[in-house]
Structure 1
């Protein structure tokens, strides 16, 4: 039975009962109306309205739950689907909404995978050009400056050496950017070595003390999963260095009974009321790509904690 007919029949039943009571009951309406008749009719109207409200509340309760689910749904934070309850039209509506969510999440996962794959390809291309083109050019400039400085008079030699050191610092910065764009150590030495290198770089760049904890057998992770873990750790640690004002940062990667867990926590100023930016949304999209769960919240040290939980079935393949 459709929603229209359910509401229509509920109202028809209430009105039928009211008319039956008026026709066959002892109540009559006088002219002018007596006070007792007003009281009886008012009580009857109140009873009809109450009965109608209760019946409609019961009948439309699943629709209200669906409305709340629609208002709070977030494709970046998948949650349980609304339970299919109610009758006829309402149950069909909930089933259709759940099917729509499944389709949207699948389409978003596919588009995210394509976008992230293109992004990683572009990062590799830029890193290669920085290393091969810009890096070699600056290396040639440094060598030429050294040759000129060695043949220059003493007052000018010191200035040329200073320019040479500034150029060398620029070359080191370009190489650092290239490593962040394309983590070659991840491909060559594995995830743990890449995270250690990242932690050392963040510590040198920000001045924060970085404590590293790598527990259990962390080999056998899928290449895509390793890249997701590395990028999430990179984004979390970069956010700490740029915005948190932290003096201590902990990075933990360990095997759990349910899979693999990454935890990045600091003692900085925390998230506060700031809205999530593109970096956090990017971490959520990467987590969904491998079926992982990403949570952000306050850490035990009073700062921010980022936790990435990868299920064993999807997040790892044990050797």
Structure 2
């Protein structure tokens, strides 16, 4: 923000420097009351512009005061440099040039004409320079606002996507639970109930043939229940690695590094969308080690408590060969913050990456 304030700093500095020049001419010349009034009025106007954003028509007041005191003071010519500067700063360059030519048409002593021209030209060009700086400042602020809006929109979209992903995961879990419960109720439950009733009837069977038939029915129902239970378990068992098994699969198949993996805690507390983030963090860290590090070993530790999941990845590579400002790590930091967690990096002893994600209460 310091760069943004510099144009106004130089503009106000020029205004008060011009007032100081008038004070100097007043002190070395005739210290008349008219010159003092001119300096006082211009000083008040410069102070007001320093404190407030005055409209451009107020420049006419500076011109009017200088023209009214023209017959009574010799420093009015230098005071007219301020209106020229103000017009140039506001981008009214044509009016500034016209005013400069108009002022130069007034009769000045031959000894001071060149100095007056130099003061006017300097005021004009410094005003043009200040105007360009103000425009650049405005463009910079507009661009910064657009970038902030874009970042805020990206954060909002990511939060919406994470929330939608979380909702979809919860919905899928509920639907799967409902499907399993219906399957157990419609098939396994009915067969077991029928087998129980057949056994109870067997106790009161009078005929041996009837008893054999009941036992055969019980056997048939139990066999069918066993098959139904086996099919239900088979359908529930995932065909791909998920959760901690997915992380272990990635570690086992990542070559040629020597990777040590430790885990502790109840892995069932971690929900599916958190596993997705931990997997992305593990892949990004191992890929960076393979591409950008001279490390020979990596230690990975996954700790799960009732409130957080903490993934630590530490390699013995040289910190000088690593760059932790890549887009991959920046994206992981943003995703971790979106879940209320954090991603920290330490390069004091090798390269250590720590991701901490809070767990939801109740799983």
TM range (shorter): 0.3 to 0.5
**Greater helix percent: which structure?**
2
- TM-score scaled to structure 1, two decimals? 0.44
Question: RCO higher in 1 or 2 (8 Å CA, sep ≥ 6)?
Answer: 1
- Quick check: which has more Rg, 1 or 2? 2
- TM-score scaled to structure 2, two decimals? 0.40
